[in-house]
Structure 1
């Protein structure tokens, strides 16, 4: 008869294989396994260690155990419309999937006149002063994202003193106590040529690029952040969360 902890680990691993748990997702905690399967803390702990030892997950101290990215080509799956994914941030998401993230800041400056951007046919404006951060994002030693953010210094004073690998979304909520009402996002695709002036990826051949434009909207339609980012099309897959509005169902 197989030990109970192995049966539990098999169940969790099967959820990972089926896609029910995606790379970077947090798997049930020790306490959750104890409660759900009615087992001892020793059995629950052994289950988590078994999942990790078989290469399906990784424990991050103080945060939990997360599903590793085991796709053959290491495609990164990102979900549009997910506040949870946005709140977690790029750096933390890569750590959770088992990658080593780091940033190369190309520009960090303050724009006194503010910024405007068109997203989905609508203009979004942030009055100055605005913090501009342009950085390249790495997974292990490969550039996978070229990111430019514009952040309101009126709404977030002194945010320019913070490190750039933070989850800015979390900081808006926890440090500046902003209430995020909505995140507007549009996704487009463009082929980037090696000699293009926007090729910061060290590309040697034409490569499809996802272009994500987004705006973070707070109470009274105040815009705290505008972002334009390029994601390597050969490294990313995007999913979309659709939340049906049942008030519109008749």
Structure 2
């Protein structure tokens, strides 16, 4: 007969294998296991250690235990429509999956004029001043994302003083007390040619193109982003929200 902690660890590992828990997802905490399974803290701790010792997860001090990326080709799976994934941020997501992240800032400037973008048939506008942040995102020294963000300095004054590796979504909520009501995203594809972009490639390579807008209370646009993702290293999943009210296309301003 299996020990209780083995039964629990096996059940969680099975959820990882079937995809119910994705790379970067947080595994139930020790307290959550105690409450759900009616077990002691020793048993709960052993279950989490068992999952980690088998290479399925990694404990990050002060944050929790996260599912590691064990895909054969180390594809990164990102979920569109997930507020949780957006809130956690790119940097922390890589750490949770077992990668070593690195950022290189190519441009960090303040634009006095505004910026606009059309996403999902809707026109999004941020009036100036706007922070333009262009940075390259690496996982284990491999460039996987070329990212450009535009952030409203009216809604987020002095955000240009904040380190670029943080989750700006969390900063909007915690530091500026903005209530995020919507995240609009579109995903497209393109073919990158050698020597025409920041990716070090020697042959035509597919790339995902993600356009997004973050909107807060009052239909104010906080952020507009356009990013290119290395197509050989990414897979995207989608969360559908059928209960979400349909709203007709209309201009939105900051």
TM-score band by shorter chain is: over 0.9
Note the C-alpha offset of 1:246: 8.0
Does the C-alpha gap of structure 1 residues 80 and 247 become closer, same or farther in structure 2, counting only changes over 3 Å? closer
**Aligned alpha-carbon RMSD (Å):** 1.2
Note the C-alpha offset of 1:121: 2.7
Note the C-alpha offset of 1:106: 0.4
Alignment-derived partner of residue 226 in structure 2: 228
What secondary structure is seen at the aligned counterpart in 2 of 1:234?
Answer: helix
Note the C-alpha offset of 1:136: 0.2
Matched, 1:241 2:239: yes
Q: In structure 1, what is the Cα distance between the partners aligned to 2:121 and 2:61?
A: 43
Note the C-alpha offset of 1:2: 2.6
Matched, 1:154 2:154: yes
Gaps of 5+ in 2: 247-254
Q: In structure 1, what is the Cα distance between the partners aligned to 2:243 and 2:37?
A: 35
Alignment-derived partner of residue 250 in structure 2: none
Moved over 3 A (4+): none
Note the C-alpha offset of 1:55: 0.3
Q: In structure 2, what is the Cα distance between the partners aligned to 1:106 and 1:33?
A: 44
Q: Deviations over 1:156-183 (max 9, x none)?
A: 0000000000100010011001111111
Q: In structure 1, what is the Cα distance between the partners aligned to 2:3 and 2:243?
A: 45
Alignment-derived partner of residue 207 in structure 1: 205
Q: TM-score, normalised by structure 1?
A: 0.96
Q: TM-score, normalised by structure 2?
A: 0.94
Note the C-alpha offset of 1:116: 1.3
Gaps of 5+ in 1: none
Q: In structure 1, what is the Cα distance between the partners aligned to 2:215 and 2:244?
A: 23
Matched, 1:75 2:75: yes
Note the C-alpha offset of 1:195: 2.9
Alignment-derived partner of residue 107 in structure 2: 107
Q: In structure 1, what is the Cα distance between the partners aligned to 2:15 and 2:40?
A: 22
Alignment-derived partner of residue 51 in structure 1: 51
Q: Higher mean Cα deviation, 115-124 or 93-102? A: 115-124
Q: In structure 1, what is the Cα distance between the partners aligned to 2:82 and 2:18?
A: 20
Alignment-derived partner of residue 13 in structure 1: 13
Q: When the two structures are aligned, how many residues end up with a matched partner?
A: 246
Q: In structure 2, what is the Cα distance between the partners aligned to 1:53 and 1:36?
A: 22
What secondary structure is seen at the aligned counterpart in 2 of 1:86?
Answer: helix
Q: In structure 2, what is the Cα distance between the partners aligned to 1:135 and 1:208?
A: 20
Q: In structure 1, what is the Cα distance between the partners aligned to 2:113 and 2:18?
A: 50
Note the C-alpha offset of 1:120: 2.3
Q: In structure 1, what is the Cα distance between the partners aligned to 2:244 and 2:168?
A: 31
